[in-house]
Amino acid sequence: MDPALIDAALQAAMSAPSAGNSQPWHFVLLTDRETLDAIPGFHPYSAMCRQAQAGILVCAEPALEKYPDFWPIDCSAAVQNILLALHAQDLGAVWVSVYPIQDRVENFRKLLGIPESVIPHSFIPIGHPDQPSGRADRFKPERIHRNRW
């Protein structure tokens, strides 16, 4: 996998908005086959890691926040940017939740040596899709309320 494509996705992540522009995130880039293969052993929705060429664990360091308790939203914005950047490069990626499931948080901490002051938020396995992803039509005009409910 071209490292420049991953770098572009990480740059997109760090361009995400955050409360007070505090940018409380850290990113762990995984390319080690043994490490990627270990994740499905503790995360029930991560079987795709066995075929992924890489993965990004999005983490938060709450001590970096200007406004307490906004880090999950900040990290979610970073995840969205990563997914959009990877999709734009015709790579396959999926958002695999970690936080707030404590077992997943602790297992990622153990696997990757993450300090207690940092909280694993989401994992994104990355690869070349084996089929075109297409685009699902999820637009629901009935969910749009104009000026009032």
**CATH code, domain with 32:** 3.40.109.10
**pLDDT (tens digit, 9 = 90+) per residue, 128-137?**
987 776 677 8
Q: Is residue 71 part of a domain?
A: yes
What's at 69, amino acid-wise?
Answer: D
Tokens found for residue 93: 């990626």
Identify whether 81 is part of a domain. yes
Q: How much of the chain, in percent, has pLDDT values that exceed 70?
A: 98
Categorize the per-residue pLDDT at 51 as very low, low, confident or very high, splitting at 50, 70 and 90. very high
Do the domain assignments include residue 39?
yes
Instruction: Please give the residue range of the domain that contains residue 115.
Output: 3-128
Percent of the chain exceeding pLDDT 90 equals 93
**Based on the structure, what is the number of domains in the chain?**
1
Does position 1 have pLDDT exceeding 90, yes or no?
Answer: no
Single out the residue of 62, 78, 45, 77 nearest to residue 117, CA to CA: 62
With cut-offs at 50, 70 and 90, classify the pLDDT of residue 22. Answer: very high
73-102 pLDDT tens trace: 999 999 999 999 999 999 999 999 999 999
